C-alpha cells in the first residue's frame, strides 16, 4: 500500500519536529500501537538528516518529510527511504526531481492558480496550506465545484474541534496536524500524553 493509500485510510497525517534520534523509537512504537502508521517529520536543519535516518529501523512506518524546498532536501528524503514528501508550495522543478527519484510528492497550494499549475503536471492530491488562514472549510467547499478531481490534505490550524468539519468535505482525504504530536511534548518526552492525543483523534474520526 503506497503512502497516498495509507493517508486516505488513516485520514490523519500527524506531523512534528524531532530533536533527537532517540525520539524515533518511542514515537514509532506509539504510532503502531494506535494504528496510525504514518508521520510527517518537518525538515528544519542538518540534524534532521541524522534523525530521519533512524526511521530505517522501522519500515512499517510510512515516513514523510515535510517543508521540502530544495533538491538537496529531496535527496535527504530519498536517503532516509521516505515514503512521501511534502512541500509548502508548488515547484514544477522540485516535482520533476521528486519524480526522478520515484518519491511520492504532495505539493502545497493555496490559490486557484497554484492548484491549476499542480494539476496541469498531473497532481491530484494536494496539501492546502495554511488551511485556517486561507479560508478553511469554506474555501475548500468553493474549490470542490471548480476542481472536482482534486483532493486536499488541509494543514495548518487543524484541531480536534475542526477536524470533522474538514473530513466531512468530499474533496478532503485527510488532515495534517502538528497538534497531534506537539513539539513541546516531544521535548519533554511526554509519550503517554502523545499517545492519548493520537488515540483521541482516531476515536473522534472512527465515531463520526
Residue 200: how many CB atoms within 10 A of its CB? 12
Rg (CA), the chain: 16
The residue to which cell 535527504 is assigned = 76
List 40, 54, 151, 197, catalytic entry:
40
Tell me how far apart the alpha carbons of residues 78 and 49 are, in angstroms, rounded to a whole number.
11
Contact predicate 176/194, CB 8 Å = no
CA nearest neighbour of 108 among 70, 149, 152 = 152
Residue 23 CA to residue 25 CA, distance in Å, equals 6
For residue 39, what is the enclosing H or E element?
strand 38-42
127 is annotated as an active-site residue: yes
Q: What does the alpha-carbon distance between residue 175 and residue 180 come to, in Å, rounded to a whole number?
A: 11
Catalytic residue among 54, 127, 151, 197: 127
Active site residues: 40, 127
Amino acid at each position: 500500500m503506497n503512502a497516498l493509500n495509507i493517508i486516505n485510510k488513516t485520514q490523519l497525517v500527524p506531523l512534528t519536529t524531532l530533536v533527537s534520534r532517540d525520539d524515533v523509537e518511542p514515537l514509532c512504537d506509539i504510532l503502531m500501537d494506535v494504528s496510525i502508521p504514518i508521520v510527517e517529520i518537518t525538515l528544519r536543519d542538518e540534524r534532521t538528516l541524522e534523525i530521519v535516518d533512524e526511521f530505517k529501523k522501522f519500515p512499517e512506518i510510512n515516513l514523510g518529510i515535510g517543508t521540502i524546498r530544495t533538491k538537496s532536501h529531496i535527496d535527504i528524503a530519498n536517503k532516509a527511504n521516505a515514503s512521501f514528501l511534502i512541500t509548502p508550495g508548488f515547484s514544477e522543478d522540485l516535482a520533476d526531481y521528486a519524480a526522478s527519484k520515484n518519491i511520492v510528492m504532495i505539493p502545497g497550494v493555496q490559490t486557484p492558480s497554484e492548484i491549476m499549475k499542480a494539476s496541469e503536471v498531473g497532481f491530484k492530491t494536494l496539501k492546502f496550506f495554511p488551511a485556517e488562514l486561507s479560508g478553511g472549510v469554506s474555501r475548500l467547499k468553493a474549490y470542490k465545484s471548480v476542481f472536482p478531481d482534486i483532493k486536499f490534505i488541509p494543514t495548518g490550524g487543524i484541531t480536534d474541534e475542526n477536524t470533522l468539519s474538514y473530513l466531512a468535505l468530499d474533496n478532503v482525504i485527510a488532515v495534517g496536524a502538528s497538534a497531534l504530536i506537539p513539539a513541546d511534548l516531544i521535548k519533554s518526552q511526554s509519550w503517554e500524553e502523545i499517545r492519548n492525543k493520537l488515540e483521541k483523534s482516531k476515536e473522534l474520526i472512527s465515531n463520526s
